[in-house]
Amino acid sequence: MGSEDRYHKTYPVSWDQLHRDCKALAWQLLPRKWEKIIGIARGGLIPAAIIARELNIRLVDTVCISSYTIRTQGEANILKGINGDGENCLIIDDLVDTGKTARVVRKMLPKAYFATVYAKPEGSPFVDTYITQVSQDTWILFPWDSETAYSTPLVDRKE
């Protein structure tokens, strides 16, 4: 089964929900003082910005990795790395799915603390904390990937 065939459910996330979930994640991260936030581009950029605001962290950097084409996950391709070992740094991503990207970033920044907003069972062991877990066969539809349109009632869907 190809990776594009493994999603049987969709979990749509609104801008409001994403903001609430990022703020909840920031509450969990509040007790510790961080030198900087490292957002994993592209999905982690918006959560990283929200969390940077909530924790009053002004030093924000990025790690740029490409591993998805639409719903197909391929090999992790590092487009931009980062120097250092990640000590006192907070890595933020929107989601940990299989853990493929997380493993690459963990190897790059072994001393950093890794937090995601959403996690799936296969990927959750690779992060230190997250807010919401969804099933492995669920595609999370983020607000930056969607538009408002008619929604077919569940009873009429052929999923």
> How much is the pLDDT for 6?
79
Confidence band of 71 (pLDDT split at 50, 70, 90): low
Q: Is 77 a domain residue?
A: yes
Domain that holds residue 68: 3-143
What distance in Å separates the CA atoms of residue 9 and residue 45, rounded to the nearest whole number?
25
Q: DSSP letters of 27-85?
A: HHHTTS--SEEEEEETTTHHHHHHHHHHTT---EEEEEEEEEETTEEEEEEEEE--SS-
CA–CA dist 66, 133 (Å, integer): 23
* Structural domain includes residue 151: no
- Residue 94 above 90 pLDDT? yes
**The domain that contains 94 carries what CATH number?**
3.40.50.2020
* Portion of the chain with pLDDT greater than 70, in percent: 92
Whether residue 94 lies inside any domain: the answer is yes
Q: Looking at residue 134, what is its pLDDT?
A: 97
Taking phi over 0 as left and psi of -120 to 50 as alpha, with beta for the rest, 146 belongs to beta
Residue predicted with more confidence, 100 or 2: 100
Answer yes or no: are the C-beta atoms of 26 and 51 closer than 8 Å.
yes
Distances (CA, A) of 125 to 22, 104, 106: 20, 14, 12
Query: Once rounded to an integer, what is the mean pLDDT over residues 133-154?
Result: 91
pLDDT on residue 1 = 41
Number of domains, the chain: 1
Q: Which range is least confidently modeled, 1-5, 48-52, 69-73, 83-87?
A: 1-5
Residue 152 counted as domain residue: no
> How far is CA 144 from its chain centroid?
13
- What residues are annotated to the active site? 93-94, 97
**Does position 2 have pLDDT exceeding 70, yes or no?**
no
Q: Is residue 68 part of a domain?
A: yes
Are the C-beta atoms of 135 and 9 separated by less than 8 Å?
Answer: yes
